[in-house]
Every structure is written in C-alpha cells, then in structure tokens.
Amino acid sequence: MSRLRALWQASLNATKRALTWNVDDLIPPSEKSIFNFNSKEELKRWHLYSDSEYGGLSSASLEINNVGNGLKGIFSGHLSLDVAEDSKWNIRRGGFCGMRSKKFDGFIDLDAYDSIALKLKGDGRCYISTIPLARYLPTWRGNVIDAELEMNPSRILGMSLSVNAEGGVPGAKSGPGDFRVELEWIKALRTE
C-alpha cells in the first residue's frame, strides 16, 4: 500500500508544480555562458583559419594554458602580408587569422540577450567580434562584408574571433607581426 501512496503523492506534487508557475521561471537569466576556455576539451569546439588557405603566409594556434590565476585560451600566431610565390590563388597579399566555433548542435538561442561579452586580455591589436547583437556585422576572412543582412539571434550557428594585419580602430597596433590574445570566456548578456 505504501508504494501506491508514494506514487499518488509524486503525482500530486507534479500537478501542484505545474499549476503554480512563477513568472521568474519565464524570464531567462541575465547572462548565458557560451564558451569557457578552462579545459583542453574546449579546443574541440573551435577550428582555426588564416590566409594560408589561399597561399598567404600567416599562421595561428589555439591552446589552453595556465596563465596567471587559471587556465585560459591562447589565440596567437603571426600575421604576414606576403603570399607564397607558388600560390595557385590570385591574391596579392595576406594578413588575416581567425578562430571559428564549430557549429552548435542545431543552434543556440540568444533572442533574450542583447550583447555578447568576452573576457580577454589583448595585445593592442584590433580583434573583430562586434559586441551588441543588434549591430553584429557579417565578416568573411577578417573583413566586414558590406551587405544588408539581418541576423536572427534565436538561431545562432557559431561565432568567431579574427584579426587582420591592416585596418582596425585608430591607435590600435597594426601591420604584420605576432599577435596574442588570452581568452577566459564568452557570454551572452541582457543589459537593457
């Protein structure tokens, strides 16, 4: 008889929970973790790209290292404007590297959020990953695409961070040479 009573009580408790909803349950948290660069497993979620795919001489790496007070992702490499003489591609110069997340299982829904925050330590270069979701810019190989595209924040397939040897904000380090940025996490935030 006690087994039947326990089953009945569990059913009654589930019914009570279903009938007594809380408005706070409908509001997503103010932040959502997307990536944490605190384990070597995180490396499996990213792949690198650079102008070397087209005959350029830039190179990039992504590692998880113990830096200061914990593990961090280190995106680093070398930017070169030069192109290999035997390149089959018709490009005149190189100068970009990036890291792109592998596609999420399906997609990630960021509709409840208005910003993307990255905790990182840079090297003075300008890295491309526009922050307010409403102003996210489509990019290709480290350059902003001049197109009228609207992003659907409820169906995000992936994210990237890239660096270009030329351009950027005034005062930022530019030109060929080494780059390095330490990444701790990437989150979606609701700031409004």
Which pLDDT does position 23 carry in this prediction?
54
Is residue 62 over pLDDT 70?
A: yes
| DSSP codes, 46-91 | EEEEEGGGGTB--EEEEEEEEETTEEEEEEEEEE---B-TT-SS--
- Whether 96 and 128 have beta carbons less than 8 Å apart is answered as no
Which pLDDT does position 53 carry in this prediction?
87
Is residue 1 over pLDDT 60?
A: no
Instruction: Please state the pTM of the whole predicted model.
Output: 0.76
**What does the alpha-carbon distance between residue 191 and residue 135 come to, in Å, rounded to a whole number?**
15
Which pLDDT does position 163 carry in this prediction?
94
Tell me what the pLDDT averaged over the chain comes to. 83
pLDDT over 90, % of the chain: 40
So where are the chain's domains? 28-189
Long-range CB contacts for residues 131-139, cutoff 8 Å, separation at least 24: 133/188
Average pLDDT, integer, range 42-68: 92
Q: How far is CA 50 from CA 79, 80, 159, 165, in A?
A: 9, 10, 16, 11
- Phi, psi (degrees; rounded to nearest 5) at 175: 95, 175
